[in-house]
Amino acid sequence: MRVGVIGAGRIGRMHARFIMENPEVKELVVADADAGRAEAVAKEVGGEARQIEETVSSGLDAVVIAASTSAHAGLVGMCLDAGLPTFCEKPVAAGYEETVGIARRVESSGTVLQVGFMRRFDPGYVEARRLISSGSVGTIYSIRLATHDYEPPPESYIPTSGGVFRDMHVHDFDALRFLTGGEVEEVYATGSVRKFPMFEKHSDVDTSAIMLTMADGVVAVATGTRQNALGYDVRTEVIGSDANLAIGFDSRVALRSTEPNHILAEKPGWSGFPERFEVAYRAEMDHFLRLATGEAENPCTARDSLEALRVAMAADLSRKERRPVKMEEIR
Ligand SMILES: NC(=O)c1ccc[n+]([C@@H]2O[C@H](COP(=O)([O-])OP(=O)(O)OC[C@H]3O[C@@H](n4cnc5c(N)ncnc54)[C@H](O)[C@@H]3O)[C@@H](O)[C@H]2O)c1
């Protein structure tokens, strides 16, 4: 296969490496608005650097978009016009209207677009979904999700991130839909600045909580912090009538038990998302290449991205207006 990567930053570099490790891939083209970055990544992984337009028009078998969020909608449009099977990092677009436009365009184009919600490929989440859909958990009562960054992002990242609900908790919102197969009906969100005043400067928070009621009555709570001294920490618990499940409780879990006979290993926590989700990112890229050749189904569509974005928008509105928001308000 001949594959392109557009956007050679943190995550584009990682995708480029995993693509080159796939035995089906014979050629990799790397492009970036900053030609120097494209060249550096191409050199590092054994690919070739080209201009963006040249990359899109060079008859590739598949393209991965990992550029900054503000560039996604335009780049996805170019790739769809060229009829290229496309992977786009989350979110497919910065705003609601653009995301709706892309979802409609993909659905009428016959071209595939996979979106990068990597938890859908994490072994813990995949097994939990299998157990839930097999009926082993029984009736789900509630779900607890926790997402804690190790270090806060640099201040320059905050105004372009879209805020904590769109940037960080959007993964929790997608995971909730992925695990249960259901939709969120109502959202109540709150947040505060506990330690890093830079978030306040940009109307954002470093500490957040969201209560989500699903259409079938399942109650979920997501909590988040932008810093956690013990490591990057993503966990989910599913509480059911027949079993409780714990995702992310492994030997690296960033928790210290206060019990004398605890069973938690005292290993260092994860350094960040690239390490915690490496297995998932690899599986995600391998899956996309099989999707591009027609051997696999699309595991995460533009519609999925739109629904996760709508929940994040409901959380923004809820925090702003200090009230529960019905999902039907977000259109
Ligand atoms: N799924 C995940 O877990 C995950 C994790 C991190 C980032 N992301 C997403 O990946 C995207 C990139 O994030 P990052 O952390 O790698 O950012 P980054 O800033 O490290 O890299 C972005 C790259 O895009 C390039 N770029 C900007 N505009 C461009 C354009 N018009 N055309 C081509 N290249 C362009 C920049 O020069 C830069 O090299 C973001 O949309 C982010 O939301 C997803």
> Is residue 265 scored above 80 in pLDDT?
no
- Say if ligand 1 is within 6 A of residue 52 CB: yes
CA-to-CA distance for 4 and 229, rounded, in angstroms? Answer: 37
Whole-model pTM: value is: 0.96
126 band by pLDDT with thresholds 50, 70 and 90: very high
Ligand 1 center from residue 41 Cα (angstroms): 14
Share of the chain above pLDDT 70, in %: 100
Ligand 1 center from residue 223 Cα (angstroms): 25
Using a 10 angstrom Cβ sphere, with 0-12 exposed, 13-18 middle and 19 or more buried, the burial of residue 15 is buried
**pLDDT for 100-125, tens place per residue?**
999 999 999 889 999 999 999 999 99
Whether CATH 3.40.50.720 fits 2-111: yes
Identify the three-state secondary structure at position 318: helix
170 band by pLDDT with thresholds 50, 70 and 90: very high
- Say if ligand 1 is within 6 A of residue 282 CB: no
Where is pLDDT greater, at 284 or 264? 284
What Å distances lie between residue 50 and 13, 147, 219, CA to CA? 15, 37, 49
> Is residue 331 scored above 80 in pLDDT?
yes
Nearest-CA neighbor of 281 among 120, 127, 114?
A: 120
**E strand map for 171-274:** 184-192, 207-214, 219-225, 233-240, 244-247
Nearest-CA neighbor of 132 among 79, 83, 175?
A: 175
Ligand 1 center from residue 68 Cα (angstroms): 3
- Beta pairing partners, 208: 191, 224
- Say if ligand 1 is within 6 A of residue 275 CB: no
Domain ranges of the chain: 2-111, 120-272+308-329
Ligand 1 center from residue 314 Cα (angstroms): 25
Determine the residue of 17, 52, 56, 68 to mutate for testing ligand 1's pocket, defined as the one with the most ligand atoms within 8 A of the Cβ atom: 68
By DSSP bridging, strand 244-247 and strand 233-240 are antiparallel
pLDDT at 262 (0 to 100): 83
Which CATH architecture is the domain 120-272+308-329 placed in? Answer: 2-Layer Sandwich (3.30)
Q: Which of 49-58, 88-97, 260-269 is predicted with the least confidence, judged by mean pLDDT?
A: 260-269
Closest atom, ligand 1, to C-alpha of 69: 41
- Say if ligand 1 is within 6 A of residue 224 CB: no
CA atoms within 13 A on the CB side of 79: 32
CB atoms within 10 A of CB 294: 8
Q: What are phi and psi of 150, to 5 degrees?
A: -75, -55
Ligand 1 center from residue 321 Cα (angstroms): 31
> Is residue 71 scored above 90 in pLDDT?
yes
Closest atom, ligand 1, to C-alpha of 72: 41
pLDDT at 289 (0 to 100): 98
CA-to-CA distance for 250 and 316, rounded, in angstroms? Answer: 32
